Amino acid sequence: MRTIGRWLLVHLVGLALLVACPAKGDVNINILGFRYESRSSSQSPSLTLKVRENEGFVSGTWSANLAQSRPSANQQVWFSISIHDARSQKMFSAHADAINYSFLFPQKKSWRGQHQMLTPAGTLVLSGQFSSKTAAGDFTFTPDANYLAQAGAHLTSAPSTLELLELGLAGVTVEQMVAFEKSGMKSSAAEMIRFKSSGVTPQYAVAVRKVQPFSADEIVRLRNSGVPETFPAAMKSAGYDFDAVQLVKLRNSGVSADEAAAWKKAGFDFDLESLVKMRNSGVKPDFARAVKEVFPSISSSEVVKLRNSGISKEFLIDIKKADVDFTVDEIIRLRNSGVSADYIRAWRTAGSTFRSEELIRLRNSGVPVDYAAVVNIPNRKPLSVDTLIKLRNRGMSAQEIRELRE
């Protein structure tokens, strides 16, 4: 036990020291032969290009954070890329598989030289040196003339030299531009880059636009939110109108097109906000259908109230058979006070017209159901709730009350 206790203490101390260490790079701690390692969250590799010239070709300076070992072919490490153009105040960001930039990761402690990278849009040349997990130098990007001509033909406008660099680093091919154009979505360079980085395919764009002409930004939003390409058409078939924001909200709340259609079949013409409310409250269409049979004009908020109060459809139907005039709020209070349908039915059968609050008072005061038979005696004034409670508190039985009254 002492050995185990010592082992636990050592590890707890090691973990505590890691937590206490400021996150400025890798931390290595060795305690009694045990090694603890922490890696900074800023260790993902990155490449930054700062534009100096942007006429015919793009040139400037570059820097890279390479605080990581060289990625292998079977290891996917995302490489963050950004471009800064101070003159236009423009900034571009993208991600790529680091394996495509493995030439930047040093085989040895330092290097000096020049690296050429072929992109779909042209050639990027990086020259400089590596030292202490960082690299820096000058860069030049020369556009591909054929790519420029094709882009001008298949995009909404010919891209600028800087946009060509962005298209190249994003990996946008001419074939992808053509595919979007054929799908009916001839796009700008910026839109193509967004489509590429968000994983939007021409097939996805066509599918979501079948029932509504979503913009490029809306399509990207739908894709980034995980909205299936068949979802807009399915919701339209279910009888609903929507925009991209509403589709995302439905998707995030777990509302399916089948569920939306089921609400229509149940007789509810809910708007999309109400569908989300029903879903978040755990209300099912079959429960709401039973409620609607009892309350034909019930609102969505009242359905949620009943569900949240634990009212079953069986209880609801039974209590309304005992008295059709109770409201939703009254039924909830009756249920919470333990007033059953049989209890209500006994008083109604005896000719009593006690309201819900009076029935609750009787139930809470322990007035038994057989008292109902002595409320109305021929040629006698009906007993009030207060009188019944007083008689109950005196311990009188229904038979004793009857004998007194007769």
pLDDT tens column, 252-291: 999 999 999 999 998 888 899 999 999 999 999 988 988 8
State the angle between helix axes of 174-182 and 145-154 in degrees (0 to 180), rounded to the nearest 10: 10
Cα 132–Cα 137–Cα 143 angle in degrees, nearest 5: 135
Strand ranges (E), 307-384: none
Could you read off the pLDDT of 317-354 as tens digits, one per residue? 898 888 888 889 999 999 999 999 999 999 998 888 89
* pTM of the predicted structure, to 2 decimals: 0.69
Cα 287–Cα 288–Cα 291 angle in degrees, nearest 5: 95
Could you read off the pLDDT of 173-182 as tens digits, one per residue? 999 999 999 9
CA gyration radius for the chain?
37
What average pLDDT does this structure show over 63-67?
81
What is the residue extent of each domain of the chain? 46-182, 338-405
pLDDT band at residue 108 under the 50/70/90 scheme: low
- Distance between CA atoms of 283 and 265, rounded to whole angstroms? 15
Element (H, E) at 51: strand 46-55
Most confident of 37-46, 111-120, 208-217: 208-217
Is the pLDDT score of 87 beyond 80? no
- Distance between CA atoms of 287 and 313, rounded to whole angstroms? 6
